[in-house]
Amino acid sequence: MKRKRILALIAAMAFAMLALAGCGGNPNASSSASGSGAKVLKVGSSIDFAPFEFQDEGQKDYQGFDMDLIRAIGKEMGYEVEIQNLGFDGLIPALQAKNVDAVISGMTINDDRKANVLFSEPYYQSGLTMVVREDEEGIKTFNDLKGKKVAVQIGTTSAEAVKKLGGVEVKELNTPADCFMELKGKGVDAVVNDRPVNDYFIHKSGTTGVKQLEERLTSEDYGIAIAKDNAELQKKIDEALKKVKESGEYDKIFAKWFGEKK
Ligand code: GLN
């Protein structure tokens, strides 16, 4: 019985490989027609980063600033946007493997990433801040983190920046929510994460017992990432982003999630 199944599996795999080899000539397979004839833009995002990308309980659609922005960009390009929820550290590999066409995920444009992917023009200015427990007296600035335990999301600029500080015990967890839970449970002394996400966690999610410190460790710009060999899509996305900004749609989306621009 077992052997038969294995044989069937091997046969199925061989068939799939033949089928794949048969369509090797279509380089646009992933971003071309869907069943309905509409063009589909497959976008990867790590849906754990409110207010940029998150899912409320009982809600089917992913929501947030990035979600609204990429849908507006897709609309401008004449593409239907299909979001795939992936771990943050799996987003660039997914682009490279051509499992997705683009990534929008509060992703900071930096040189390390630029070695592997293309980025759109910047679409949001961010940076890193720190969250500690409300009764914390010993940590007032990033310099105070030496000898302390700090939680960060794996694969992020926070992870990189905190390691660079030196002498900090860094705990890399899967999501910002995991980091905040660890802080409340006293498994760590601080969380370093993107400022708007810390803001949202403290002011909008109704959490108590923690505070955000003023100091900013970095200033960073978010961009939409595209595979290194897809300059054509990068250009289309940049053109659409420009139009979304010029039409006032960007400001509307910004105001919806962050209030009017100062
Ligand atoms: N902006 C940070 C980075 O690019 C964090 C992004 C995220 O966690 N979604 O690394």
Can you name the CATH fold of 3-125+220-258? D-Maltodextrin-Binding Protein; domain 2 (3.40.190)
| Alpha carbon distance 130, 128 (integer Å) | 7
Task: Tell me, using a 6 A CB cutoff, whether residue 46 lines ligand 1.
Answer: yes
Exposed e or buried b per residue across 243-262, where buried means at least 16 C-beta atoms within 10 angstroms of its C-beta: ebeeeebbeebbeebeeeee
The ligand 1 atom nearest the CA atom of 159: 10
**How large is the C-alpha radius of gyration of the chain?**
21
Q: Fold match between 3-125+220-258 and 128-216?
A: yes
Matching residue, tokens 């960060």: 152
Task: Tell me, using a 6 A CB cutoff, whether residue 65 lines ligand 1.
Answer: no
| Alpha carbon distance 118, 231 (integer Å) | 7
**pLDDT confidence of 260, banded at 50, 70, 90?**
confident
Task: Tell me, using a 6 A CB cutoff, whether residue 153 lines ligand 1.
Answer: yes
Tens of pLDDT, residue by residue over 222-246, are 999 999 999 999 999 999 999 999 9
* Ligand 1 mean position, distance from CA 240 (Å): 23
The ligand 1 atom nearest the CA atom of 105: 9
Do the beta carbons of residue 237 and residue 120 sit within 8 Å?
yes
- Which class for 128: exposed (0-12), middle (13-18), buried (19 or more C-beta within 10 A)? buried
Backbone angles phi, psi at 161, to 5 degrees: -65, -40
Farthest-apart Cα atoms in the chain, separation: 68
Q: What's the pTM value of the predicted model, to 2 decimals? A: 0.85
Sign of CA dihedral 143, 147, 153, 159: positive
Which residues face 151 on adjacent strands?
Answer: 171, 191
**pLDDT confidence of 3, banded at 50, 70, 90?**
low
Please report, for residues 4, 14, 189, 214, 253, the alpha-carbon distance to residue 52 in angstroms, rounded to integers and kept in the order given.
Answer: 48, 41, 25, 21, 11
* Ligand 1 mean position, distance from CA 39 (Å): 28
pLDDT tops 90 at residue 198: yes
CATH number given to 128-216:
3.40.190.10
* Domain locations along the chain: 3-125+220-258, 128-216
Do the beta carbons of residue 104 and residue 218 sit within 8 Å?
no
Is there a cis peptide before residue 196, judged by omega within 30 degrees of 0? no
pLDDT tops 70 at residue 50: yes
Tens of pLDDT, residue by residue over 56-114, are 888 889 999 999 999 999 999 999 999 999 999 999 999 999 999 999 999 999 999 99
Listed in sequence order, the residues at least 6 apart from 252 whose beta carbon sits closer than 8 Å to its beta carbon are none
